[in-house]
Amino acid sequence: MSEPILSARAVRKTYQSGDRRIEVLSGVDLAVERSETVSIRGESGSGKSTLLNLLAGLDKPDAGEVIWGGGLGLDVRSTFLGMVFQSFYLIPELNALQNVLVARRIVGGIGSAERARAKDLLARVGLAERSHHLPSQLSGGERQRVAVARALMNQPQLVLADEPTGNLDERTGDSVIELLLGLCADTGTALVLVTHNAAHAAKTSRQLFLHNGVLQSAPKPIQP
């Protein structure tokens, strides 16, 4: 088996709130292979976002380690990773095309090749005609599709999606997931998808559950 593109080993995270310590992650192990799609489900507050932020290198684990691509540094985050969030996070002053391009701007310069790529991505998420619209002129589903295009702009090896359909109605959510999975499959990009939706999870190659601070491959045991 080839080297995993992302691995987490014995990752722990504890939050201090007041004088209460909450251990949210108590030893998470995860290995994601190239082009693999993994879904993570779990109750609200079970630590899914916390885990995703650790995987993204936005936060540091209290113990354990997260390794990218066999040892890449944090400085490659923007080209190694793409992220999609529940509430889109588009920049309101920029139109759809500019929002997609911003991911590239932060990494380096913009040329005609990058513009063409951004337009192509917008076309692939079905927004070719809307590329000059501001986020405020787009529906929720359209905004999330712009965010998907942005996540893929830098040709990442891995996309982390945190409940990308959480703010969308069911049908819109389905189509966004369809697009995300399709694009990842086309480009050979690995995906970690946090979701509450069993149907969406079922479309990924591996389904995991976060329960009691650890990842497991079966839903939480039914309480007696």
Partner 1 sequence: MPWYFYLALKQLFPTGRKFPFFTFMSGLGIAVGVALLVVSTSIMGGFGYEIRRMIVDTQGEIQVVAQGAISRPDEVIARVEKVPGVVAATPSAQGVVMLEYRNKPSFPAIQGVDLATVSKVIQLEKYVRLGSLDDLDDDSVILSASLARSLGASLGSQVELYSPLLIEKLKNDEVFLPRTVKVVGIFEIGHQQLDQSVVISTLRLMQDLYGLGADVHHINVRIKDGANEFEVADAINRVLPGRDQRAITWFEANADFQSVLRFEKYMVFFLLSFIVVVAALSIMSSLLISVVRKTREIGLLRALGGSGRQIAACYCVQGFLLGIVGTLGGLIISWLVIYYRDQIVRVVAGLTVGQRVFLEFYQFAHLPSHTTSFDIVVITVGSIIISTLAGLLPAWRAARLEPVEALRSE
Ligand X SMILES: Nc1ncnc2c1ncn2[C@@H]1O[C@H](COP(=O)(O)OP(=O)(O)O)[C@@H](O)[C@H]1O
Site residues, ligand X (CB under 6 A): 15, 17, 22, 24, 42, 44-50
Options 14, 98, 172, 187; binder of partner 1; rule CB under 8 A: 98
Cβ proximity to partner 1: between 77 and 119 the closer is: 77
Q: Does 93 interact with partner 1 (rule: CB under 8 A)?
A: yes
Stretch that binds Mg ion, among 26-34, 46-54, 116-124, 138-146 (CB under 5 A): 46-54
d(CA 202, CA 198) in angstroms, rounded, equals 6
Strands of the sheet with 20-32, listed across from one edge: 20-32, 6-17, 63-68
Helix (H) or strand (E) holding 11: strand 6-17
Nearest approach, Cβ of residue 215 and ligand X (Å): 12
Nearest approach, Cβ of residue 48 and Mg ion (Å): 5
The CA dihedral of 215, 75, 162, 22, to the nearest 10 degrees, is 50
Nearest approach, Cβ of residue 82 and Mg ion (Å): 18
**In contact, 157 and 189? CB cutoff 8 Å:** yes
Cβ proximity to Mg ion: between 52 and 90 the closer is: 52
Size of the site for Mg ion (CB under 5 A): 1
Amino acid letter, residue 5: I
Cβ proximity to partner 1: between 35 and 86 the closer is: 86
* Positions of E strands within 77-154: 81-84
- Restricting to residues 160-179, which ones interact with partner 1 according to CB under 8 A? none
Close Cβ partners of 162 (under 8 Å, ≥ 6 residues apart)? 48, 49, 52, 83, 84, 85, 86, 194
Strand, helix or coil for residue 209:
strand
Sign of CA dihedral 17, 22, 28, 33: negative
Cβ proximity to partner 1: between 89 and 139 the closer is: 89
Binding partner selected for residue 58 from partner 1, Mg ion, ligand X, none, CB under the kind-specific 5 to 8 Å limit: partner 1
Residue corresponding to tokens 């389904």: 207
Options 49, 78, 79, 172; binder of Mg ion; rule CB under 5 A: 49
Q: By the criterion CB under 8 A, which residues form the site for partner 1?
A: 49, 53, 56, 58-59, 77-79, 83, 85, 87, 89, 91-95, 98, 102-103, 105-107, 132, 134
